[in-house]
C-alpha cells in the first residue's frame, strides 16, 4: 500500500516548481496588453504608483502603439534591471501590411528604430538572441504576457494574461514556445530582475 506522498510521485527538488505571486492586472483596451504587463511587474516589485506610471507614459510618449522596446525603456525609467532579447534590432519591414501595424507603420518604424539606436546610450539593455523561426501564419500579431513560474515535473509554465482579470493561466512549454517563436513576435523576451 502506498502512502499519499508516495502516490504523488517523487518529491520535488528545489527549483522544480516556482510560482511567483505576481498580481493580475487586466488590460483596458485591445492595444494595452504590454502596459498591463508592465503594471503587473512593477506592482510585484513594489514600484507601482499609478500617477507615476501615467507620468512615465507621457514622458516616454507611449500611446496606442506599444512595442517591446517601449517596455524596456519603461523598466529603465523605473530603475528596474532588465534585459531585452529579440530577433530583430529594429522594425521588421514584413509587418507593414499586417492589420495591427498597417495604419501607423511608417511613423512607428522611424520611432522604434530610433529607440533601438539610442538604447545603449539610454542604458536600455538590448541584445539579439536565438535563431530566427519563420513559421506559423503571418497574421499572428503576438500578445504580451507575464511569466510567473513553472512546474518542471509536468512541463508547464504559469503566466498572467492581461486579457483576464480573474485567473492565472498555464500551458505546456511546447505550446508556449510555439506561440513565442511565431512570426509577428520577433521572439521578444523582456527579462526583469528583482535586484534592481
C-alpha 83/C-alpha 68 separation (Å) is 11
- Cα three-residue angle 180-42-71, rounded to 5 degrees: 45
Query: Which run of H or of E encompasses 149?
Result: strand 146-151
Using DSSP's 3-state secondary structure scheme, residue 117 falls into: helix
> How many structural domains compose the chain?
1
Hey, which of 4-13, 136-145, 146-155 has the most confident mean pLDDT? 146-155
Percent of the chain residues topping a pLDDT of 70: 83
Q: Give the HSE-up count for residue 124: Cα atoms under 13 Å, Cβ half-sphere.
A: 23
The confidence score (pLDDT) of residue 33 equals: 94
Let me know if residue 2 belongs to a domain.
no
Which of 193, 88, 82 is closest to 142 using CA atoms? 88
CATH number at residue 164: 3.90.70
Tell me: the pLDDT tens digits for 3-18? 344 345 556 577 799 9
- Identify whether 16 is part of a domain: no
CB atoms within 10 A of CB 31: 13
Helices assigned H by DSSP within the chain: 4-7, 33-44, 50-59, 68-77, 99-102, 105-118, 173-180
pLDDT score for 102: 64
Q: What is the pLDDT of residues 82-99, one digit of tens each?
A: 999 998 898 887 777 776
Identify the domain containing residue 134 by its residue range.
22-190
CA dihedral angle for residue 19, residue 23, residue 27, residue 31, rounded to 10 degrees = -50
Q: Which tens digits make up the pLDDT trace of 175-184?
A: 999 888 887 7
Average model confidence (pLDDT) across the chain: 85
Q: What's phi and psi for 42, nearest 5 deg?
A: -65, -35
Beta bridge partners of 190: 84
More confident of the two residues 101 and 171: 171
Residue carrying the nine cell digits 500617477: 51
Domain-located, residue 4 = no
> pLDDT digit string (tens) for 20-72?
999 999 999 988 999 999 999 999 999 888 999 999 999 999 988 899 999 99
Residue 9 domain-assigned?
Answer: no
How would residue 126 be classed by pLDDT, with cut points 50, 70 and 90? Answer: very high
pTM of the model as a whole = 0.83
What burial letters (b/e) apply to 142-156, b meaning 16+ CB within 10 Å? Answer: bebbbbbbbbeeeeb
Nearest to 76 by CA among 109, 103, 41: 41
Residue 11 falls inside a structural domain = no
- Residue 7 within a domain: no
Does residue 14 belong to any structural domain of this protein?
no
Amino acid at each position: 500500500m502506498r502512502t499519499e506522498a508516495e502516490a504523488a510521485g517523487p518529491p520535488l527538488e528545489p527549483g522544480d516548481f516556482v510560482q511567483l505571486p505576481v498580481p493580475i492586472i487586466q488590460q483596458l483596451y485591445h492595444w494595452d496588453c504590454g502596459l498591463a504587463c508592465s503594471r503587473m511587474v512593477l506592482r510585484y516589485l513594489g514600484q507601482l504608483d499609478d500617477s507615476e506610471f501615467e507620468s512615465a507614459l507621457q514622458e516616454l510618449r507611449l500611446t496606442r502603439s506599444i512595442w517591446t522596446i517601449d517596455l524596456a525603456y519603461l523598466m529603465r525609467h523605473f530603475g528596474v534591471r532588465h534585459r531585452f532579447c529579440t530577433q530583430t534590432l529594429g522594425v521588421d519591414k514584413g509587418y507593414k501590411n499586417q492589420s495591427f501595424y498597417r495604419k501607423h507603420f511608417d511613423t512607428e518604424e522611424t520611432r522604434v528604430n530610433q529607440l533601438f539606436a539610442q538604447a545603449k546610450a539610454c542604458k536600455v539593455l538590448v541584445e539579439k538572441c536565438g535563431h530566427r523561426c519563420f513559421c506559423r501564419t503571418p497574421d499572428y500579431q503576438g500578445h504580451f504576457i507575464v511569466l510567473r513560474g513553472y512546474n518542471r515535473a509536468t512541463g508547464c509554465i504559469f503566466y498572467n494574461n492581461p486579457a483576464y482579470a480573474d485567473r492565472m493561466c498555464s500551458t505546456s512549454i511546447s505550446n508556449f514556445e510555439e506561440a513565442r517563436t511565431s512570426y509577428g513576435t520577433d521572439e521578444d523576451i523582456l527579462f526583469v530582475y528583482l535586484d534592481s
